């Protein structure tokens, strides 16, 4: 079993990186702009 501190860092990593990525992707594809 992973130590609690490692699980917390795992969650921090997921939230900061993938959460931010999802947010900015949402902004990008909500507004239709040409590449």
Q: How far is the CB of 18 from another protein (least distance, A)?
A: 6
x/- string (CB under 8 A) for another protein, residues 1-35?
Answer: xxx-xx-xxx-xx--xxx-xx--xx-xx--x-xxx
Question: Does residue 10 contact residue 2 with C-beta atoms inside 8 Å?
Answer: yes
Distance CA(2)–CA(28), nearest Å, equals 36
By the criterion CB under 8 A, which residues form the site for another protein?
1-3, 5-6, 8-10, 12-13, 16-18, 20-21, 24-25, 27-28, 31, 33-35
């Amino acid at each position: 079993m992973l130590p609690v501190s490692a699980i917390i860092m795992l969650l921090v990593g997921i939230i900061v990186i993938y959460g931010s990525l999802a947010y900015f992707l949402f902004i990008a594809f909500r507004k239709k702009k040409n590449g």
